[in-house]
Structure 1
Amino acid sequence: MILVVTAVAAEAEAIRAGADPDHVTVEAVGVGPAAAAAGTARLLATGRFEAVVSAGIAGGFVGRAPVGAVVVGARSIAADLGAETPDGFLTVDELGFGTSVLESDPELVRSLTTTLPGAVLGDIVTLSTVTGTAATAERLAARYPQAVAEAMEGFGVAVAAAGLPFAELRSISNPVGPRDRAAWRLKEAFAALSTASAAVWKTCG
């Protein structure tokens, strides 16, 4: 049984629309890395699950993942976990306090990308504060050249997985950068998530 966790109910409903309930359990666990980690850990404590996937909608980095695309995370990165300095941002890795980068399970990623040949593969950054300016988007894109999308839960779910196979699956609703709600394509992103769900759980479930 695979556990698929989302931030909010609307994302969970989009996943359930395509998921096989005999092989997949879908739950909304809350917004942000802390809520995601706590909610995922609680569900995994039941011992019912063999793998966990963080799924939902996301912002896509311009030129890397267009609106409407489906992305698969090769790594989940806690992009704002670290310290500001006069010379720029230092990650917890650079500070010597742990790691801000967690690898997705190679076999699970291979299953997802094989089943979704049009998906964009790359890093997905996890942020507690969604990017809202062009300047921040440019800094993130430069700091993480392999990042294709940003969301708010993946790293937390990856931490809670604690050795279980983990991956992150997202559909892109808007570009990373200035918040222009009128330009968001939520309906299309949810539809893409449902379509991806219907395809992947036949293989991964």
Structure 2
Amino acid sequence: MRVLVATAVPVERDAVARAFPGTAREVRLPGAVLHRVPGGPDLLAAGVGPALAAARTAAALTAAALEDAPYGLVVSAGIGGGFPPEAPLGSLVVADEITAADLGAETADGFLPVTELGFGTVTHRPPASLVRAAVSATGARPGTVLTVSTVTGTAARAAALRIRHPHALAEAMEGFGVAEAAAAHGVPVLELRAVSNPVGPRDRAAWRIGDALTALATGFGKLAPVLESWNPHDDR
């Protein structure tokens, strides 16, 4: 089964690449650039935010389908904010739900997700058997990973997100976009995040980006055998 791993930026892509032996080869596609790991997944730095992540992931998926070598799984991976105390700095989170937290409308009565306006979807659910296997292999915590277009920077917004999404453990900016592209191609999706900072007031001095990237590389090393052995038929 071919696996596509989509990160936001090259430093996250390179952290994932450290989990695999060999040197990645660059493959240029219309609208995307892959790093192909010998014996491993294809890696894509898809860009920051759900729109660009969706566009570049879709480009890679389309190119693979046209080559008659489609991907069997897409993984959104990277660092992100964690909701304390459940997701402390340096910990890993595996999404059992990938939810667009700010896709909708603000009203006098509060926020309405786009689904309550009669459109689209706001949540994608990774295969349950894959989530369980990933959690077991990596020691990650399972929970909702929120996708936001604006990173949370205040205690008030962090509290509001937790009220709307009580099972949320982390927030990032790409997972939902990657999941939308995968769903359009009928491909299952997984999201793995290493926590680099707490969700809430922005305090750059408290960020631990290097530690989170190390945790991401280590976690992906443990996840790799799961991706190789996972059978999508287990969830049917």
Specify the TM-score bucket, using the shorter chain as the normaliser.
over 0.9
Q: What SS does the aligned partner of 1:171 have? A: strand
1:132 to 117, 135, 153: 153
Higher mean C-alpha displacement, 47-56 vs 16-25: 16-25
Distance 1:93 1:65 in 2: 28
Q: Secondary structure at the match of 2:98?
A: strand
Identity of matched residues, %: 52
> In 2, distance between residues paired with 1:108 and 1:167?
8
Quote the residue 2:111 is aligned against: 89
Match of 1:104 in 2: 126
Residue equivalent to 1:5: 6
Corresponding residue to 2:198 among 175, 188, 203:
175
On the 8 A contact 1:112/1:200 being kept in 2, the answer is yes
Deviations 1:66-90 (A, max 9, x none): 1110000001111000000001000
Of the three residues 170, 175, 179, the one matched with 1:154 is 175
2:219 counterpart residue number: 196
Letter in 2 for 1:137: A
TM-score (norm 1): 0.96
Rounded Cα–Cα distance in structure 1 between residues aligned with 2:167 and 2:118: 23
Match of 1:120 among 141, 157, 160: 141
Gaps of 5+ in 2: 22-36, 229-236
Deviates more, 1:31-40 or 1:16-25: 16-25
Q: Which residue of 2 aligns with 1:30?
A: 47
Give me the whole-angstrom Cα distance separating, in 2, the residues matched to 1:110 and 1:42.
Answer: 29
TM-score of the superposition, structure 2-length normalised? Answer: 0.84
In the other structure, the counterpart of 1:17 is 18
- The one of 73, 82, 95 aligned to 1:51: 73
Counterparts of 1:153 and 1:123, CA distance in 2 = 14
User: Which secondary structure state, in structure 1, belongs to the residue aligned with residue 196 of structure 2?
Assistant: strand
Alpha-carbon offset, residue 172 of structure 1: 0.1
Shift in Å, 1:109: 1.4
- Matched with 1:70 is 92
Q: Which residue of 1 aligns with 2:82?
A: 60
- How many Å apart are 1:197 and its aligned residue? 1.0
Q: Secondary structure at the match of 2:112?
A: strand
Distance 2:81 2:164 in 1: 17
Q: Which amino acid aligns with 2:225?
A: K
Q: CA deviation at 1:25?
A: 1.1
TM-superposed CA distance for 1:94, in Å, is 1.4
Deviation at 1:110, TM superposition (A): 2.4
Higher relative contact order (CA 8 A, sep 6+): 1
**Contact kept in structure 2, 1:108 and 1:165, CA below 8 Å:** no
Aligned residue pair count: 204
Residue 144 (1) aligns with residue 165 (2): yes
Query: Matched residue of 2:149: which SS?
Result: coil
Q: Which letter maps to 1:196?
A: G
Q: Name the structure 1 match of 2:31.
A: none
Secondary structure of 1:41's partner?
helix
C-alpha displacement of 1:107: 2.8
What displacement does 1:104 show?
Answer: 1.1
Max Rg structure = 2
